[in-house]
Amino acid sequence: MKTNADVEKIIEMSKKFETLAIRTQTETTQFSEHSVPLYLTSGFVFDDAEEMRASFAEEKQRDLYSRYSNPNVNEFVDKICAMEGAESGYAFASGMAAVFSTFATLLDAGDHVVSCSSVFGATHGLFTKYFPKWNIECSYFNIDEVETIENLIKPNTKFIYAETPTNPGVDVLDLDFLSAICKKHNILLVIDNCFATPYLQNPIKHGADLVIHSATKLIDGQGRVLGGVTVGKKELIREIYLFSRLTGPSMSPFNAWVLSKSLETLAVRTEKHCENALKIAEYLENHPKVKWVKYPFLKSHPKYDVAKKQMRLGGTIVAFEVEGGVAGGRAFFDNIKMCSLSANLGDTRTIVTHPASTTHAKVEPEVKAAVGITDGSVRISAGLEHIDDIIADLKQALG
């Protein structure tokens, strides 16, 4: 009978994304299930006192309690690590649990962080509302002024934090450039890779120390469950794990089981999402009522060359602005018929969002302006419906 070791031999040799996504899996039980079962259990049992002692002392590697680890969660983490080329990882209940727990582990009172100014709304909220309370300072750089980053670094700077592409501006940052600065100043590089997914971009291969994902978006891809994960250097993940096993932000086995299945189709889904997104971007670029369009794989994107260098495809998000300011934007949203008005992204359904009144409503007006969120800007998450139907809906809504 073939064993997991036989399968591992083949995937170890090829390291092809699609094969890793499907064949990296937990050992099955005595029932030889083809699809990995759901290990819906909070705890695990021990044979005797010695096994229990050795397990808790970490002399023996095994699952103890699902706040620490669980077979379904381990499989999900193993798959993400294989896809990102990471040594180790830990999975969380949501993307924000991953962001917060990573920060809380790495930072001490009195530390300083340098971040790109365009970050996910909730992450920005952590910087502005909670960092001051713990005496942690954050300095921001604008996407257009990356040359100024070095001037922001201080003796107490712990890491540079960035998203690329950014939410919701769809700006692109050069990962090689950022990691070179971090190496020079001996600080860490932490990247939120949510918009790119592990299929489109692998920041660790460009020198990042830690990579964070909200698995809620394209990794689930079907708008069902929340999840998050941080992967990277073994010794850093060890600290994140120790923090998390005390504080309890862990991913549920059920969500891990759903997300592990989703990863098996990430490559094919993402290819199609990106194909539709590019067609949407090209359509909008030629529309007279559209002021501007931003999509990493459009030649007009200011960082088109960087996007081409570090991303396999342009991603699923297109940003644009309708002529006519707030009124123009509102009319567009009110006229949309098929696409969903929602704040989520990376779903099978095409979603249109108004960042200024939703995800970024609590962000200060000057910060919104700096990161290019105008009252009329629209963010589209290209779904998997037929492209003709998506374009037809956008066309009638713009008309």
Ligand X SMILES: *Cc1c(COP(=O)(O)O)cnc(C)c1O
**Contacts to ligand X from residues 303-362, by CB under 6 A:** none
- 8 A C-beta contact, residue 328 and residue 290: no
For ligand X, give the closer residue by CB, 72 or 94: 94
Using CB under 6 A as the binding rule, whether residue 262 contacts ligand X is answered as no
- CB of 20 or CB of 93, closer to ligand X: 93
Distance of CA 14 to the CA centre of its chain: 25
Give the nearest distance from C-beta 233 to ligand X in angstroms.
Answer: 21
Which CB atom, from 226 or from 397, has the smaller least distance to ligand X? 226
Choose among 210, 198, 223, 194: nearest CA to 121: 194
- Residue from 20, 187, 194, 237 touching ligand X (CB under 6 A): that is 194
Residue 200's SS3 state is helix
Identify which range of 70-78, 126-134, 189-197, 387-395 contacts ligand X by CB under 6 A. 189-197
The CA distances from residue 163 to 99, 214, 281, 384, in Å, are: 12, 12, 21, 24
Instruction: Answer whether 190's CB lies under 8 Å from 159's CB.
Output: yes
Q: CB nearer to ligand X: give 101 or 276.
A: 101
Cβ closer to ligand X: 313 or 387?
A: 313
Alpha-carbon distances, residue 25 vs 21, 110, 230, 269 (angstroms): 9, 42, 19, 20
209 makes contact with ligand X (CB under 6 A)? no
Selected binder of ligand X within 198, 228, 296, 383 (CB under 6 A):
228
Residues 41-100 that bind ligand X (CB under 6 A): 94-96, 99
CA-wise closest residue to 101 among 270, 230, 254: 230
* Binding residue for ligand X, selected from 226, 231, 263, 380, defined by CB under 6 A: 226
In the complex, what is the shortest distance from the CB of residue 226 to ligand X, in angstroms, rounded to a whole number?
5
Q: Does 171 bind ligand X (CB under 6 A)?
A: no
Q: How far is the CB of 51 from ligand X (least distance, A)?
A: 36
Angle formed by the axes of helices 387-398 and 266-285, nearest 10°? 30
For residue 319, list its beta bridge partners: 294, 379
Ranges of beta strands (E only) in 221-336 are 228-232, 290-294, 317-322
The C-alpha atoms of residue 345 and residue 390 are separated, in whole angstroms, by: 15
CA 296/CA 172 separation, integer angstroms: 7
Q: Which stretch binds ligand X (CB under 6 A): 52-60, 200-208, 213-221, 242-250?
A: 213-221
- Per-residue binding string, ligand X, 150-169, x by CB under 6 A, is -------------x---x--
Which pair of structure tokens corresponds to residue 397?
A: 């809504």
For ligand X, which residue of 216, 262, 350, 377 counts as binding (CB under 6 A)?
Answer: 216
Nearest CB to ligand X, comparing residues 95 and 376? 95
- Binning the chain into helix, strand and coil, the percentages to the nearest 5 are 45, 15, 40
Considering only 210-218, 244-252, 266-274, 302-310, which stretch makes contact with ligand X by CB under 6 A? Answer: 210-218
- Contact residue for ligand X among 70, 102, 214, 244 (CB under 6 A): 214
Least Å distance, CB 122 to ligand X, is 6
Measured from each CB, the residue nearest to ligand X is 95
> Residue 34 CB, nearest distance to ligand X (Å)?
30
Please count the residues of this chain forming the interface with ligand X, following the rule CB under 6 A: 16
Cα distance from N-terminal residue to C-terminal residue, the chain: 62
Closest among 26, 130, 143, 138 to 75, alpha carbons compared: 26
Give the interface with ligand X as residue ranges (CB under 6 A).
Answer: 94-96, 99, 120, 122, 163, 167, 192, 194-195, 214, 216-217, 226, 228
